Amino acid sequence: QQQVKQSPQSLIVQKGGISIINCAYENTAFDYFPWYQQFPGKGPALLIAIRPDVSEKKEGRFTISFNKSAKQFSLHIMDSQPGDSATYFCAALRGGYNKLIFGAGTRLAVHP
């Protein structure tokens, strides 16, 4: 049972373009939705996160859009740069349990 479904598996974007990664969840008890960024040979690191009481959160070039009724959320990377090339994971957490459940990951390549 995959509680958090992520797509696409891989993504190629030209420099300056918009990268969009989508996630869907099943458990309505989830109340925290982070995105993690992982560079080769490193552990994942928190990029941006949202709680379901807001529909959008923006930090610099990174934006999370959240649709509670559809149980979907997405990461938008504006003006994508080669340095953004990494694997991105969406995740979900149920309050009080602190167990992060991860999506399968999206490998992003930004070409110059």
Partner 1 sequence: NAGVTQTPKFRILKIGQSMTLQCTQDMNHNYMYWYRQDPGMGLKLIYYSVGAGITDKGEVPNGYNVSRSTTEDFPLRLELAAPSQTSVYFCASSLGGSNTEAFFGQGTRLTVV
Give the binding site for partner 1 (CB under 8 A): 6, 9, 32, 34, 41-46, 49, 89, 93, 98-105
Nearest approach, Cβ of 8 to partner 1 (angstroms)? 12
Compute the distance between CA of residue 41 and CA of residue 58 in angstroms, rounded to an integer.
28
Nearest approach, Cβ of 70 to partner 1 (angstroms)? 21
Buried b (16+ CB within 10 A) or exposed e, 76-109: bbeebeeebbbbbbbbbbbeeeeeebbbebbebe
73 C-beta neighbours (distance < 10 Å), count: 26
- The residue (of 64 and 103) whose beta carbon lies closer to partner 1 is 103
Cis peptide before 8 (omega within 30 of 0): yes
- The residue (of 17 and 101) whose beta carbon lies closer to partner 1 is 101
Nearest approach, Cβ of 98 to partner 1 (angstroms)? 5
- The residue (of 18 and 39) whose beta carbon lies closer to partner 1 is 39
